[in-house]
Structure 1
Amino acid sequence: MSNAANTDLTRELKNRKMVRQWLYFTALMLLCLVVVGGATRLTDSGLSITEWKPIHGVIPPLSDAAWEEELQKYRQIPEYQLINKGMSMDEFKFIFWWEWAHRFLARSLGLVFALPLAFFWVTGRLDSRIKKPLLGLLALGGLQGFIGWWMVTSGLSERVDVSHYRLATHLCMAALILGLIIWVARGIAPHRDDLPPTAKSSYAGAALAVLIFIQIYLGALVAGMDAGLVFNEWPKMGEGYFPSVMWEASLGWLNVVENPAIVQFVHRTGAYVVLAAVLLHAITCWRWAPGSTHAWRATILLLLVIGQAVVGILTLLTLVQLDWALVHQGLAFIVLAFAVAHWRGLVGPLPLKDGRDHTHEVRF
């Protein structure tokens, strides 16, 4: 290989590393945003800011008069009138700061993504094959801001909380964005030159990622309806394993998404399905590719899912205690991110510009 070719290769590898580090940092920020969002939901703070001010909303109240104005706006919505009537200023500040922190972190994440994207683009550090996906991620981030406000508006007039459907949409958009960030980042990362366990292993990786995504949606419905407080024992739900006495005939199959007891049951069942699928995949990987990177990653994914199941049970048994609930939500996104990374590993990386595979001897 000529010196010029070596120089170009070195530059390409360096640029890929810089872009990966940026993407991993945005993924970490997104994870923090999800945890803060979970705390905002669990402390019933999400409706404390009743206006959407994308630009100057970054500045919190700076005087007693400004704080009184914000509280007065909050007093106009049903949540205050029916649940929090008589709330003190200190109590209002507690819920206000959670929502403000969530919005501030979201705005910061937008800048952390957009500004480096522009820099990498202008300076020619981006592989042309990831430019459109990155622009798509930028657009999804903007859409997510709108979805967040659309969710809040559902609780400002006729309800005392936000729509659980809109909350689930908001959380799942965050999950989709995280998954896409990891997919792009892993696509330009070094991969060990291990053959997939089977010819269809990449499809299995995709199926696992989809199952975990669906489970996150079901968990969002549980959170949006406070369904985690209906039954707080495990493995049974009351007197049995299915809360048949709480099935509402008038709802029909809408019980699955609108009846808190059934929603909790479906989320529990989804956890068993995910665990079984990940276990089967791990066994397959060790059977057909023992000692490979794919087998090790399948094992780590299995351990993460087991850990998530244990945390979920503890969340139930502690009556959805804030710290356990936040660990449960944050770990769900870590499980999804690792599942997507594992899937991408089974598919393989984007080749380098000279057409060679981007492989390197790495274990994980």
Structure 2
Amino acid sequence: MATKPRSIFEDVNTTEKQAVTTGGIDAKGQGARRGIRAWLCVLFALVVLMIAVGGLTRLTDSGLSITEWKPVSGALPPLNAADWQVEFDKYRAFPEYQEQNKGMSLTEFQFIYWWEWGHRQLGRFVGVVWALGFVGFAVTRNIPTGWTGRLLFIGALGGLQGVIGWWMVSSGLEDGMLDVASYRLATHLGLAFVILGVIAWYILRLSRRSSDLLQARRLGNPALARWAAVLIGVTSIQILLGALVAGIDAGRAFPQWPLMADAFLPPDPLSLTPIWRNFFEDAGLVQFMHRMTGYVLFALGIFVWSRARKSANAQTRFGFNMVLAMMVLQMLLGIVTVLYSAPWHVAIVHQFGAVVLWVLVMRARFLAIYPLPQSVRGASK
């Protein structure tokens, strides 16, 4: 039988259309991305609170009030007068009491004890929130493909932070020590910022679909992302130096700016032996390093911001605008902290400013790698 000729328009007009499946990357293994993102937001807020409480614990000289590490049984505070007396007697056996707080009353001891107990309790609570969330999402098989290891990594960092916390506290209980070792304090705070940065990065990734991120990366600015990575590195160094300043109360040593004791350099910056101790224990030199690194960071921030101004993406440009604005504010807070000899309420605001700056720099780099979609009008001309 002869085949009837078909119109060249027949395929368009009368043939049944084939279904098209889109979003193949997002079709499988996406899990409860919104739920996990919300859970990570809660963890993020708790870590920020943990950093603030840790800073106040340091500023109130409360960190050595609990002289033992009991991860489980330590969750219970003293419940009666006899228990309080036992804890107080333990504290009185160590140098901080004998050389700095001799004659402290039980009531005064209870004040610093509650700060440290609250700090440790908050750490336990963060661990519980992570464990319940991870187990819940894992049991219900709602963890997206490729995310199990990442979420376990957060838990591992949290566990390591607890160990480093005790390693830090134990240094202050040794003979001749009135405070924790400043380099251990810097390690403890530095890891807290690492945890915060990892959580923030994961939240940003989960805020958009995998297919959207893949497409956005093709429009990213690798050079700007590399400079943002350098900015993150220098910011990290500055945060660690800030911890060294806090560890030896160096912020109260020279209440003058821009000079130190009417000179560019502090007096006798290398008087301790061996010489390496000066970079951790000399109040003048440690504060000087923090100041100088702040200037370097600010100059680098301006340079990276000038590069970001050339970005075609408005949201990316705005992300780096926020970084520069926060740098200006943070530098002003640092100057005020120095001029007023680091009162606790100013010092804690300065520390919180470091948290905000850290997150903004992370977000700016994320936008450089994965720019948000925009209309033609939003692009720079």
TM-score, normalised to structure 2, is 0.86
Cα 1:63–1:361 change in 2 (3 A) is farther
Residue 259 of structure 1 pairs with residue 282 of structure 2: yes
How far did residue 15 of structure 1 move?
2.3
Pick from 100, 125, 138: which aligns with 1:83?
Answer: 100
How far did residue 328 of structure 1 move?
1.0
How far did residue 256 of structure 1 move?
2.5
Q: Which residue of 1 aligns with 2:304?
A: 281
Provide the rounded CA distance (Å) in 2 between the counterparts of 1:196 and 1:244: 52
Q: Which residue of 2 aligns with 1:296?
A: 318
Q: Is the 8 A contact 1:40 1:102 kept in 2?
A: yes
Q: Which residue of 2 aligns with 1:106?
A: 123
Q: Which residue of 1 aligns with 2:200?
A: 182
Letter of the 2:251 counterpart: G
How large is the RMSD of aligned CA atoms in angstroms? 2.6
Deviates more, 1:104-113 or 1:183-192: 183-192
Q: How does 1:197-346 map to 2 (within 5 A)?
A: 198-248=221-271, 250-286=273-309, 288-289=310-311, 292-346=314-368
Pick from 27, 48, 53: which aligns with 2:65?
Answer: 48
How far did residue 218 of structure 1 move?
0.5
Residue 72 of structure 1 pairs with residue 95 of structure 2: no
Residue 116 of structure 1 pairs with residue 133 of structure 2: yes
| 1:108-161 CA distance string (max 9 Å, x none) | 111111211111222222222222121111111101101111111111131111
Cα 1:92–1:126 change in 2 (3 A) is same
Return the index of the structure with the highest Cα Rg: 2
Provide the rounded CA distance (Å) in 2 between the counterparts of 1:160 and 1:253: 20
How far did residue 247 of structure 1 move?
3.1
Count of matched residue pairs: 353
Unmatched segments (≥5 aa) in structure 2: 1-17
How far did residue 202 of structure 1 move?
1.3
Q: Is the 8 A contact 2:30 2:144 kept in 1?
A: no
How far did residue 309 of structure 1 move?
0.9
Pick from 181, 190, 196: which aligns with 1:163?
Answer: 181
Cα 1:242–1:97 change in 2 (3 A) is same
Cα 1:2–1:210 change in 2 (3 A) is farther
Provide the rounded CA distance (Å) in 1 between the counterparts of 2:19 and 2:54: 52
Provide the rounded CA distance (Å) in 2 between the counterparts of 1:155 and 1:165: 12
The residue matched to 1:50 in structure 2 has which SS? coil
Cα 1:8–1:346 change in 2 (3 A) is closer
Residue 59 of structure 1 pairs with residue 59 of structure 2: no
Q: Is the 8 A contact 1:315 1:328 kept in 2?
A: yes
Deviates more, 1:247-256 or 1:90-99: 247-256
The residue matched to 1:128 in structure 2 has which SS? coil
The residue matched to 1:105 in structure 2 has which SS? helix
Q: Which residue of 1 aligns with 2:171?
A: 154
Letter of the 1:224 counterpart: G
Unmatched segments (≥5 aa) in structure 1: 350-358
Q: Which residue of 2 aligns with 1:353?
A: none
Q: Is the 8 A contact 2:30 2:143 kept in 1?
A: no
How far did residue 183 of structure 1 move?
1.4
Cα 1:197–1:299 change in 2 (3 A) is farther
| 1:251-283 CA distance string (max 9 Å, x none) | 435432332111100001111111111111111
Cα 1:226–1:284 change in 2 (3 A) is same
Provide the rounded CA distance (Å) in 2 between the counterparts of 1:2 and 1:337: 43
Specify which structure has the bigger relative contact order, considering alpha-carbon pairs within 8 angstroms and separated by 6 or more residues: 1
Provide the rounded CA distance (Å) in 1 between the counterparts of 2:90 and 2:277: 35
Q: Is the 8 A contact 1:208 1:277 kept in 2?
A: yes
Provide the rounded CA distance (Å) in 1 between the counterparts of 2:291 and 2:281: 16
Q: Is the 8 A contact 2:221 2:369 kept in 1?
A: no
Task: State percent identity of aligned pairs.
Answer: 39
Deviates more, 1:202-211 or 1:3-12: 3-12
Q: Is the 8 A contact 1:232 1:316 kept in 2?
A: yes
Q: Is the 8 A contact 1:218 1:267 kept in 2?
A: yes
The residue matched to 1:54 in structure 2 has which SS? coil
| 1:147-199 CA distance string (max 9 Å, x none) | 11111111113111111111111111111111111112212223795976744
Q: Is the 8 A contact 1:23 1:185 kept in 2?
A: yes
Letter of the 2:358 counterpart: L
The residue matched to 1:52 in structure 2 has which SS? coil
Provide the rounded CA distance (Å) in 1 between the counterparts of 2:192 and 2:303: 28
Q: Which residue of 1 aligns with 2:143?
A: 126
Provide the rounded CA distance (Å) in 2 between the counterparts of 1:311 and 1:290: 32
